[in-house]
Amino acid sequence: MRIHNLAVALAGVALAAAVSAAGVATAAEPERAQERTVSVSATGSVVTEPDHATISIGVVSEADTAREALARNSATMVKVIDGLKALGISAQDIRTTAVNVEPRYRNAKEQQAPSIVGYQVVNQVRITARELKRLGEVLDQVVGLGGNQISGITFEVSKAEELKDEARKAAMANALRRARLYAASAGAEVGQVLTISEDQPAPGPRPMARTSLAAGDLPIEPGSQRLEVKIHVTWALR
């Protein structure tokens, strides 16, 4: 009888201890209020002028034989490159991008196989002109020395990343202004920043200028470029 009573007493003590421990654990983990946040996307931009241009220049030559076409093309391209260097274009800013040798065919008639009537050689170089004021002079020189293919001019900004820092500051200011507006409308205040991220857009088309191959001064207008940054920011609300 005493053994039975002792077992019951011990069981009661164990149950009381378990309930007490559960109560302590619950008290140690107070209910967390759901964190309130505000997330804003904003952009900032700066407008600047390009400071250099890249140009694709080519020489197209034709002759009865591939050897003759290559010889003519090489002689002309050497003159063009020497002329570019004479105008201050450094060797590091002149890069060959394509050399093609292709046969020219006579149109087939009455089911006859087309025949080769000659060859065409295309030699293209891409140059970087760092003095935009002399860009027209450079192109005139190219045309005058035999360059007969200009595929386009792309204007670029050397320190675009540094200039974008101003756009980033403007984007952050715009984001904070909007976050404060939303917070005030909801009866809250903006707290600490939780996250900041910036979009990394794929390179888009850059401003290009069209040129003709006529002799004389070529009008070149580099215009201006807008450098834009888009960010996403999340603040805690208090």
Tens-digit pLDDT profile for residues 37-48: 999 999 999 999
Q: Domain with 233 in it: what CATH number?
A: 3.30.110.170
Looking at residue 122, its amino acid is V
Model confidence band, residue 180 (pLDDT cutoffs 50, 70, 90): very high
Cβ-proximal residues to 167 (8 Å cutoff; 6+ apart), any chain: 44, 45, 46, 227, 228, 229
Q: Is 60 exceeded by the pLDDT of residue 141?
A: yes
Residue whose C-alpha is closest to residue 232's, from 191, 200, 190: 200
Would you say residue 43 lies in a domain? yes
Amino acid found at 86: A
The CA distance from 173 to 180, in Å, is: 11
The pTM assigned to this predicted structure is: 0.64
Bridge partners, 42 (sequence order):
231
pLDDT tens per residue, range 55-107: 999 999 999 999 999 999 999 999 999 999 999 999 999 999 999 999 998 87
Least confident window among 29-33, 38-42, 191-195, 231-235? 29-33
Neighbour order of strands in the sheet with 208-209 = 94-106, 115-129, 52-63, 149-156, 208-209
Identify the band that residue 15 occupies on the pLDDT scale cut at 50, 70 and 90.
very low
CATH number at residue 139: 3.30.70.2970
- Domain containing 233: what range? 37-48+160-207+225-237
